[in-house]
Amino acid sequence: MKIVIASDSFKGSLSSIEVADSAERAIHRIAPTCEVVKIPIADGGEGTAQTLVGRMGSKMVSCLAFEPLHKWRTTVSYGIADNNRTAIIETASASGLSLVPPPLRNPLYTSTFGTGEMILDALNRGCRHFLIGLGGSATNDAGTGMLQALGYRFLDEEGQELPSGGRILNRIMRIDDSHAVPELRDATFTVACDVNNPFSGSNGAAYVYARQKGADDETILQLDNGLKQFAAVVLQQRGIDINSIPGAGAAGGLGGAFLAFLDATLKPGIEMVLEAVDFDRLIADADLVITGEGRLDRQTAMGKAPGGVLRAARRQQIPVIAIGGSVEDATLLNRQGFLAVFAIQQEICTLNQAMEKGYAMSRIEATVEQIVRIIQHYQP
């Protein structure tokens, strides 16, 4: 047999590789000669860089970058692969909400400048292809901070250069790209984007996401007006209507900046990851794929990592079994295409116990062992 283990992390408990290692131990206990292929995966959010680095035989590097409030630099890490040609960057590393204490969260002042510094560092190391995860940002600056770090200048009606943060958007009258770093001309960007929100408006970046980043009603209105103003300037100067492109509102408009200024390709996060690790080739001739995440529910097959695994495996007619810390609506998950779904919890326990690493690993092993016992029974 050939069994592929391609699970997301069980957030707050196990990394994707720890899930895979636990499943592998169970498989080899029952079927010692089974070929096990472990493919740790992520959906483009937290953990994506580490996951891809481990799978692509690359390395993590560090640099200094401004945190979202642009007050001090901190050490951030990102991945480099393909002999220093590809950089794997998570926006949340330098521009993430978790980096800003709750009382200080305010998207009028937070900036993506640090993300731009990470891109600049990678360009200086020779990287020309970028895989970017947009999840978890603290910002609503339409990517202007990132662009500022890369040499772009945003000017008001008097031609004065503006500072950073979402507060500048409604004052931008002209964009000066004459000092943009020249290495960008040879760079390509693939951006993990799991939302279809437009740049501005009632379903745009400010109205849908800014409140969780610290904005009140008045701030949301100011940010949305700023996004509209910025989009109008982009349309006038670059001929690109970012308001009409689904996904441009991701990460407080950062998706729009990647589209309009860096000619990026937006992809669902799991699709970007599976393509990067050459998933279709790795699962060829597999008899079974085991995937999973901390909670299996009706969202699992709709853009989340196990759903992407399911779609890829079904193209090759490979059955997929999903395991999770908890399962909601197993019948629906079966209808969506999973051969079977299993909750790893088999006894009453507290949430803290269920999340404890050693306990969770033992539960995964026990569950996968039962799955393999059934398969072994029906093997010719």
Which of 246, 270, 294 corresponds to the end of one domain? 270
Which tokens belong to 366? 């026990």
| DSSP-based three-state secondary structure for 295 | strand
pLDDT of residue 12: 81
Q: Is residue 277 part of a domain?
A: no
Which of 243, 270, 297 corresponds to the end of one domain? 270
pLDDT of residue 156: 97
Query: What is the domain-level CATH number for residue 158?
Result: 3.90.1510.10
Which tokens belong to 354? 């269920």
> What is the rounded CA–CA span in Å between residue 231 and residue 199?
8
Q: Is residue 275 part of a domain?
A: no
Q: Does residue 319 sit in the same domain as residue 348?
A: yes
Cα separation values, 168 from 101, 126, 220, 337, Å: 22, 32, 14, 47
Instruction: pLDDT tens for the chain, 380 residues: list them.
Output: 999 999 999 988 898 999 999 999 999 999 999 999 999 888 877 778 877 887 776 789 999 999 999 999 999 999 998 888 999 999 999 999 999 999 999 999 999 999 999 999 999 999 999 999 998 899 999 999 999 999 999 999 999 999 999 999 999 999 999 999 999 999 999 999 888 899 999 999 999 999 999 999 999 999 999 999 999 999 999 999 999 899 999 999 999 999 999 999 999 889 999 998 999 999 999 999 999 999 999 888 877 899 999 999 999 999 999 999 999 999 999 999 999 999 998 888 888 888 899 999 999 999 999 999 999 888 77
Q: Does residue 65 sit in the same domain as residue 173?
A: yes
Structural domain containing residue 74: 48-270
Q: Is residue 337 part of a domain?
A: yes
Which tokens belong to 193? 């984007």
Cβ neighbours of residue 371 closer than 8 Å, sequence gap 6 or more: 290, 321, 340, 342
Strands (E), the chain: 2-5, 35-38, 59-66, 73-81, 86-90, 129-133, 153-155, 174-176, 188-192, 265-267, 288-296, 320-327, 340-343
pLDDT of residue 193: 87
Helix axes 16-30, 48-56, angle to 10 degrees: 50
Q: Is residue 226 part of a domain?
A: yes
Q: Does residue 314 sit in the same domain as residue 236?
A: no
Would you tell me how many other CB atoms lie within 10 Å of the CB of residue 74?
A: 12
Q: Is residue 370 part of a domain?
A: yes
| DSSP-based three-state secondary structure for 170 | helix
Question: Chain centroid to CA 292: how far?
Answer: 17
User: Nearest 10 degrees: CA dihedral of 84, 85, 91, 92?
Assistant: -30
Q: Does residue 247 sit in the same domain as residue 291?
A: no
pLDDT of residue 249: 96
> What is the rounded CA–CA span in Å between residue 299 and residue 334?
13
Count of domains forming the chain: 2
> What is the rounded CA–CA span in Å between residue 222 and residue 319?
50
Q: Does residue 297 sit in the same domain as residue 360?
A: yes
> What is the rounded CA–CA span in Å between residue 123 and residue 182?
10
User: Nearest 10 degrees: CA dihedral of 29, 31, 33, 36?
Assistant: -80
Q: Does residue 225 sit in the same domain as residue 205?
A: yes
Cα separation values, 59 from 19, 86, 139, Å: 21, 11, 28
Q: Does residue 103 sit in the same domain as residue 162?
A: yes
**Which residue type does 377 have?**
H
Which of 270, 298, 331 corresponds to the end of one domain? 270
Q: 130-187: per-residue pLDDT in tens?
A: 999 998 899 999 999 999 999 999 999 999 999 999 999 999 999 999 999 999 999 9
Question: Chain centroid to CA 304: how far?
Answer: 10
pLDDT of residue 288: 97
Q: Is residue 276 part of a domain?
A: no
Which tokens belong to 63? 């640099």
> What is the rounded CA–CA span in Å between residue 123 and residue 129?
9
What are the φ/ψ torsions at residue 315 (nearest 5 degrees)?
A: -60, -25
The answer to whether the Cα torsion of 111, 115, 117, 120 is positive or negative is negative
Place of tokens 């009382």: 103
Is the separation of the CB atoms in 66 and 130 below 8 Å?
Answer: no
Query: What is the domain-level CATH number for residue 299?
Result: 3.40.50.10350
Cα separation values, 74 from 103, 115, 118, 133, 336, Å: 20, 12, 11, 19, 43
Q: Is residue 33 part of a domain?
A: yes
Q: Does residue 346 sit in the same domain as residue 305?
A: yes
Q: Does residue 200 sit in the same domain as residue 224?
A: yes
pLDDT of residue 284: 96
Q: Does residue 109 sit in the same domain as residue 33?
A: no
Q: Does residue 103 sit in the same domain as residue 36?
A: no
Which tokens belong to 138? 């603290």
Q: Does residue 255 sit in the same domain as residue 295?
A: no
pLDDT of residue 11: 84
Q: Is residue 157 part of a domain?
A: yes
pLDDT of residue 348: 83
